Amino acid sequence: MFGTSGIRGPVGDAVTTDLAADVGRALASAGNERVVLGRDPRPTGSAFADALSAGVRECGGDVLRLGVQCTPTVARSVGWLDADAGVTVTASHNPPTDNGVKLWLPSGKAFGPTEREAIAERVEHDEFAFAAWNAFGSERTPGFDPRERHEAALLEAVSLDAAPAVVVDVGNGAGGVTASALDALGCDVTTLNAQEDGHFPARPSEPTPGNCAGLARFVAATDADFGVAHDGDGDRMVAVTGNGEFVPGDVLLALFGREAVPAGGSLAAPVNTSLAVDDALAARNASVDRTRVGDVHVADSLASDALAFGGEPSGAWIWPAETLCPDGPLAAVKLAELVADNGPLADLADDVPRYPLRRESIDARDKASVMRDVRERVAAQYDEVDDRDGVRVETDEGWFLVRASGTQPLVRVTVEARDERGADALHDTARTFVEASRGD
């Protein structure tokens, strides 16, 4: 039922109001007496939020409705409102035909495997503790504006001596707090697609290089210093330089990491993170602590270790001193501070090395069996194998990762090396392991 980022899927198929109500019932039945509830602007969000609220109240829990808010605002509000859990009704960067839920702890961290499994068990077995007719929970709004409180937190998180000019592509999603925070910091702000519209008419919600082409062209044609873009619920942030060049996620990870991680420290990042991040941090005698893929796993590492920063190249950035939720608006103001202190984003990005990368998806009907065999074959050939999420091997040339797709009958091969020849050789090696395990 749950993926690494909550429940998500097509409306009327994987996601229904019945499911939303059951999730609400499960939350309250599991002892979450006070639940914060917000949503992104998808047209189906209101009905799903109503159903989820009804489920919580039916089992005696109280609901604090925030309305349309970006996901990090909802996650932060759990602690602000002394609640037990939070819910965002959202499908994140998926198309408008989808919806889902993300669940949050008071720390701002997403529900981990233990919490997710407890909710899933209750839903699957109808294990709900229904309240008596006169003990239903209540629903109300908070006594403050959550967006204004989030904006105030963003202003406290950074200090700008010289405010840059920034273009903010909200993508018709819920991340408009970014523009208002940058404006309050003194930046010259231009917005694109700032009207909340869950049909996402201006561009697809996922802020990929292709989907951000309009932002890139606009920034290049103006005097803006850089541009940022969000997904539908505002937990992701990507950037383009003043020249209109899309900044790869690994490069942003390296730039944020160099700024946030002290000498001798570490950042948290998933197993498919580029060597460029390791090399950028090596100059500070710092390193990368790798996690499983998924921002919840990055957050788990940040919660348990004394690390100052972590993130995923997909655009999820976490500063644990602020919140354990990926916070796209926080990343945007942090980027403004970085540019104000260190110069043009294009120059900073050029200072981060980029290496040849190979990616391939290979059909594997029985991907679990293929991955078991790959692990055995790789372990027999290499002394050090990282198998926390797929199979990752580091060599003198670079690294390769063989990992099963979470949603499709595919095994994905990712390879990176410091030169083209090394990348080709590692790709051939990794592909051979998969083909041999398929019986090819």
Residue positions annotated with a catalytic role = 92
β 237-241/226-230 pair status: antiparallel
Coil, helix or strand at residue 284: coil
What does DSSP assign to residue 202?
S
What is the rounded CA–CA span in Å between residue 118 and residue 416?
38
CA-nearest of 72, 22, 70 to 48 is 22
Alpha helices in 221-263 (DSSP H): 249-260
What is the rounded CA–CA span in Å between residue 239 and residue 331?
10
The CB-based long-range contact list for 10-13 (8 Å cut-off, 24+ gap) reads 10/97, 10/98, 11/44, 11/97, 11/98, 11/99
CA-based torsion, 259, 262, 264, 270: positive or negative:
negative
Q: Which helix (H) or strand (E) holds 401?
A: strand 398-404
Partnered with residue 85 across adjacent β-strands are: 35
Burial class (CB in 10 A: 0-12, 13-18, 19+), 223: exposed
CA-based torsion, 271, 272, 274, 280: positive or negative:
negative
**Euclidean distance between the first and final Cα of the chain, in Å?**
33
Q: Cα–Cα distances in Å, from 9 out to 3, 233, 267, 347?
A: 10, 15, 31, 40
CA-nearest of 84, 28, 37, 79 to 55 is 28
CA-nearest of 63, 73, 18 to 328 is 73
What is the rounded CA–CA span in Å between residue 372 and residue 175?
41
What does DSSP assign to residue 11?
B
Partnered with residue 87 across adjacent β-strands are: 37, 103
What tokens were used for 378? 């790789």
Coil, helix or strand at residue 139: strand
What is the rounded CA–CA span in Å between residue 166 and residue 179?
9
